[in-house]
A = this chain, B = another copy of it.
Amino acid sequence: MSEAASEKKTEETDLHFLFQPRSVAVVGAAREPEKVGRVVFDNLIRTFSGPVYPINPKATEIAGRRAYGSITEIGAPVDLLVIAIPAPYIKAVLEEGARAGARAAIVISAGFKETGIEGARLETELAAPARALGIRLVGPNCLGVMDTASGLNASFAGALPRSGGVAFMSQSGALCTAILDWAHGEDVGFSKFISLGNKADISEIDLLPWLAADPQTNIISMYIEGISDGRAFMTAASAAAREKPVVALKSGTTNAGAKAVSSHTGTLAGSESVYEAAFRQSGVIRAATVQDLFDYALGFSSQPGPHGRRLAIITNAGGPGIMAADESERRGLWLADFNPHTVENLRRALPAEASVYNPVDVLGDALADRYGAAIKSVLADPNVDSAVVILTPQAMTEIGATAAAMTKAAAGVGTKPVFAAFMGKSLVDEGTAVLRAGSIPNFYFPERAVAMVDAMVRYSEAGSLPEETPTKLPVDREAARRILNRAEEEGKRYLVDVEALDVVKAYGIRTPRSAVASNQREALAIAAEIGYPVVLKVSSPDVLHKTDVGAVKVGVENDFELRRDYRDLLSNVEKYIPEAEIAGVVVQEMVRGGKETIVGMNRDTQFGPLMMFGMGGIYVEVLKDVSFRLAPVTTEDAAQMVREIRSRALLEGVRGEERSDTDAIIDTIMRLSQLVMDEPSIAELDINPLLAMASGSGAVAADVRILLEAKS
Contacts and interface: CB of A to CB of B under 8 A. Distances in A.
Contacts of A325: 252
Interface stretch (A387-395, A503-511, A671-679): A387-395
A469 interface: no
A173 B317 CA distance: 8
B172 A253 contact: no
A36 B127 CA distance: 71
A525 interface: no
A446 B290 contact: yes
Interface in A160-214: 170-175, 177-186
Contact of A623 (B174, B185, B316, B623): B623
A447 interface: yes
Contacts of A183: 425
A39 B394 CA distance: 13
Contacts of A249: 323
A329 B257 CA distance: 13
A228 to B, nearest CB: 17
A693 to B, nearest CB: 19
Contact of A319 (B251, B254, B397, B426): B251
Copies per assembly? 2
A343 B684 CA distance: 41
Given A289-B445, A319-B223, A353-B115, A175 B392 contact: yes
A361 B371 CA distance: 49
Interface residues of A, number: 78
A466 interface: no
Interface stretch (A129-137, A236-244, A649-657): A649-657
A691 to B, nearest CB: 17
A36 B395 CA distance: 9
A394 B447 CA distance: 31
Contacts of A655: 617-618, 621
Contact of A394 (B173, B289, B330, B647): B173
A470 interface: no
A142 to B, nearest CB: 12
A428 B174 CA distance: 13
Q: Most B CB atoms within 10 A — which of A115, A254, A290? A: A290
A287 B521 CA distance: 71
Contacts of A175: 317, 319-320, 392, 423
A173 B650 contact: no
A3 to B, nearest CB: 41
B225 A174 contact: no
Contacts of A225: 318-319, 322
A320 B178 CA distance: 10
Given A39-B395, A178-B393, A425-B184, A172 B251 contact: no
Contacts of A253: 326
A451 to B, nearest CB: 10
Contact of A424 (B115, B170, B178, B444): B178
In the complex, the 5 A-B pairs of residues with the closest C-beta atoms, listed nearest first: A185-B425, A181-B424, A174-B317, A172-B319, A178-B423
